[in-house]
Homo-oligomer: A and B are copies of this chain.
Amino acid sequence: MKFHYPNGKPYVPKANSVAPQLKKYKNQVYSNRGMTLEEDLNETNSYYLERKIAIIHKKPTPVQIVNVDYPKRSAAVIKEAYFKQASTTDYNGIYKGKYIDFEAKETKFSTSFPLKNFHLHQIQHMEDILKHHGICFVILRFSKLEEVYLLEAKHLLAFWARMEEGGRKSITKEEIEELGHHIPLGLQPRIDYIKVIDYLYNLS
């Protein structure tokens, strides 16, 4: 099916670009923390989407809007807003008819992954997703080592429970190596996590 705008103009999809202002903002705010992983995953998801492999999107950052200005003849400007904590994971979608749900986080540490990278709401959300037979996992990046792992949510929940019971507040690198799945970084797609899902769920 070809798409046209109602005025008859054919639809030309925009290239995947981030506005210059946003890039600036990103650097200001996070000094690149988390951004590289997010950008890599966005590129990966675009790759999957364009090739009709999977439909997975990052959810927009939740923002509480308080004040909006409506200038004449130009777009509405949000003048006051606040970041809200997400109640779910950041990424979800569909792959081969299966519901896919994941969160992506990175750490500067090299020997363990702190659990404080996850919020309680996200942990509860992952638990719910598993109960509803969704495919749920986290993508963990050790930024200094440039190593990326996929860890199934069931393991993350077990490590969270260990912390709740008074155990360590992080997952050791060894545990991630043993229970997780290393994803070699590629060019296209950059983080080919769907391959791991194929392997884990016999979907290929």
Contacts and interface: CB of A to CB of B under 8 A. Distances in A.
A72 interface: no
Given A61-B60, A98-B99, A49 B128 contact: yes
A5 interface: yes
Nearest to A49: B128
B94 A132 contact: yes
B55 A125 contact: yes
Interface residues of A, number: 66
A200 interface: no
A27 to B, nearest CB: 12
A187 interface: no
B96 A99 contact: no
A63 B66 contact: no
A53 B9 CA distance: 43
Interface in A153-167: 157, 161, 163-164
Contact of A129 (B80, B94, B161): B94
A142 interface: no
Q: Which of A67, A82, A133 has the most CB of B within 10 A?
A: A82
A199 to B, nearest CB: 19
A29 interface: yes
A3 B164 contact: yes
B94 A54 contact: no
B3 A94 contact: no
A87 B94 CA distance: 15
A60 B59 contact: yes
B63 A161 contact: no
5 contacts: A3-B123, A29-B68, A54-B132, A78-B82, A97-B133
Given A1-B127, A52-B128, A60-B60, 15 more contacts: A22-B64, A22-B65, A25-B67, A28-B68, A52-B132, A55-B132, A60-B61, A60-B84, A79-B80, A93-B99, A94-B99, A94-B132, A94-B134, A97-B132, A97-B134
